[in-house]
Amino acid sequence: MDKQEFVSRLAVKNNSKMLMLIMDGLGGVPEIGGKTELEAANTPNMDMIAKASDLGQSVPVIPGVTPGSGPGHLGLFGYDPIKYQIGRGILEALGVGVEVSEKDVVARGNFATFKDGIVVDRRAGRPATEENVKVCEFINSRISEIDGIKVHVFPGKEHRFVLKLTGDGLEDKLTDADPQRVGEPVMYAEALDQGSEKTAKIVNEFITRVAKLLNGKEKISGCLLRGFSNYPNIPKFPEIYKIRSAAIATYPMYKGLAKLVGMDVLDVPAVEGEMETIKSEIKVLKDNYDNYDFFYFHVKHTDSYGEDSNFMAKMNVIEIVDKVIPEIMSVKFDVLAITGDHSTPTLMGGHSWHPVPLLLRSKYSRYGLSKAFNEKECARGSLGTIEARDLMSFLLANALRLEKYGA
């Protein structure tokens, strides 16, 4: 039996409130002055809470493995990120804010340049996103269904788009319709099983029609499709843990992931500025406090600046989060977790495998070991080094929402 399934059997309801505060890409490696971004940041509020908390470090997937946002978040939500894999097409769709449901198959698309049936540019010369938007509108105006299946394209950045097919009997066991290099003939998808043959036929008809519609255009004259994905069959978070669950996030990817596991996604009014955005999220938290047991609260830019290798900016986001901690603490939560979905060290300019600092606070914390919230204290914290997918168990336990196992 899967750990999550086991924990689910022990889960009971009560009136406790839990908050999971995720700073995306939180962890770092020592860089400026031999410090990580979190170590360099001035975080008096988190440090104070750390003194009354359990600290630890969280391994997103398994040791050494660097996760994307999908597996990183599945782990935080208590799922085994190796057992539950979310297709590339779905992640792309979530990333651009496409709603996906059980009857859909989605795929990642590239606009490309075709010439005499040959792919001569896999990215159509990286068009401006506005041009992409126009081409998607044009395609949607000309192709709305094929063989009774609804067809829709959604623009992404530059040459990227998402194809969504909606209808009965769609399956995703298809090969990619992408030769992966230029100079090769236009490719079509092949069904890998009988159930996917209908989908392959529609996909290939779509490729043909798009090429015909765009025939002769200089740059965008065709499309490539890959990562065909059904809506994943994932047990629902609120049912597994018996908690009313809400997500507070501003980026489509994270809203999409939360929705995928069955959380309610709360609408966060868009505002300018880092502090303003977090304040906007806190307002949503306060407004919805009564209606949920569990809040997933996502801060994006620790990761973005990590990816940009901008140490000071990542540090600054951490300091902004620290400044709002008193306001977050004024909303009474029985259990508070602060961590990230993975590390994004500015030194590396990308996600990494390094464990993520983790703080867990409840009145049952075995506190007193740690003096601050940072990588070093967390490495020596009272929780030890855990897998991300165990975090939900700790949250529930500290909320007294797990029954004793056995007599």
Residue tagged 């002769």 (tokens): 216
Closest CB 343 distance from its own copies, rounded Å: 9
Considering only 117, 183, 216, 406, the residue that binds its own copies (CB under 8 A) is: 406
Euclidean distance between CA atoms 343 and 120, whole angstroms:
38
Near its own copies in 19-38, by CB under 8 A: 29-30, 34-36
Confirm or reject binding of residue 65 to its own copies (CB under 8 A). Answer: yes
# binding residues, its own copies (CB under 8 A): 69
Question: Do β-strands 104-115 and 118-121 pair in parallel, antiparallel, or remain unpaired?
Answer: antiparallel
Considering only 109, 127, 155, 381, the residue that binds its own copies (CB under 8 A) is: 381
Confirm or reject binding of residue 367 to its own copies (CB under 8 A). Answer: yes
Confirm or reject binding of residue 397 to its own copies (CB under 8 A). Answer: yes
Confirm or reject binding of residue 233 to its own copies (CB under 8 A). Answer: no
Q: Which stretch binds its own copies (CB under 8 A): 42-50, 183-191, 215-223, 389-397?
A: 389-397
Question: CB of 182 within 8 A of CB of 122?
Answer: yes
Closer by beta carbon to its own copies, 207 or else 391: 391
Confirm or reject binding of residue 357 to its own copies (CB under 8 A). Answer: no
Residue tagged 């306001």 (tokens): 327
Closer by beta carbon to its own copies, 281 or else 341: 341
Question: CB of 343 within 8 A of CB of 354?
Answer: yes
Considering only 107, 136, 355, 356, the residue that binds its own copies (CB under 8 A) is: 355
Near its own copies in 82-141, by CB under 8 A: 82, 85-86, 88, 91-92, 95
Confirm or reject binding of residue 191 to its own copies (CB under 8 A). Answer: no
Considering only 148, 273, 368, 371, the residue that binds its own copies (CB under 8 A) is: 368
Q: Is the alpha carbon torsion for 5, 10, 13, 17 positive or negative?
A: negative
Euclidean distance between CA atoms 367 and 365, whole angstroms:
5
Closest CB 195 distance from its own copies, rounded Å: 24
Confirm or reject binding of residue 12 to its own copies (CB under 8 A). Answer: no
Confirm or reject binding of residue 351 to its own copies (CB under 8 A). Answer: yes
Secondary structure E strands in 124-276: 145-146, 149-155, 160-166, 222-230, 245-248, 264-265
Closer by beta carbon to its own copies, 87 or else 167: 87
Closest CB 310 distance from its own copies, rounded Å: 18
Q: Which stretch binds its own copies (CB under 8 A): 197-205, 285-293, 320-328, 386-394?
A: 386-394
106-129: burial string, b at 16+ Cβ within 10 Å, e else: bbbbbbbbbeeeebbbbbbeebee
Confirm or reject binding of residue 69 to its own copies (CB under 8 A). Answer: yes
State the alpha helices, DSSP H only, in 174-310: 197-213, 237-241, 252-260, 274-288, 301-307
Confirm or reject binding of residue 349 to its own copies (CB under 8 A). Answer: no
CA distances to 9, 10, 377, 391 from 406, rounded to whole Å, are 12, 10, 34, 22
Near its own copies in 70-89, by CB under 8 A: 70-72, 81-82, 85-86, 88
Closest CB 30 distance from its own copies, rounded Å: 5
Joined together, the tokens standing for residue 311 give 């140490």
Euclidean distance between CA atoms 235 and 1, whole angstroms:
14
Confirm or reject binding of residue 258 to its own copies (CB under 8 A). Answer: no
Question: CB of 20 within 8 A of CB of 337?
Answer: yes
Question: CB of 266 within 8 A of CB of 246?
Answer: yes
Euclidean distance between CA atoms 111 and 123, whole angstroms:
6
Considering only 13, 42, 44, 62, the residue that binds its own copies (CB under 8 A) is: 62
Euclidean distance between CA atoms 172 and 384, whole angstroms:
40
Residue numbers of the site for its own copies (CB under 8 A)? 1, 3, 6-7, 10, 29-30, 34-36, 57, 61-72, 81-82, 85-86, 88, 91-92, 95, 345, 347-348, 350-355, 364-369, 375-376, 379-386, 390, 392-397, 402-407
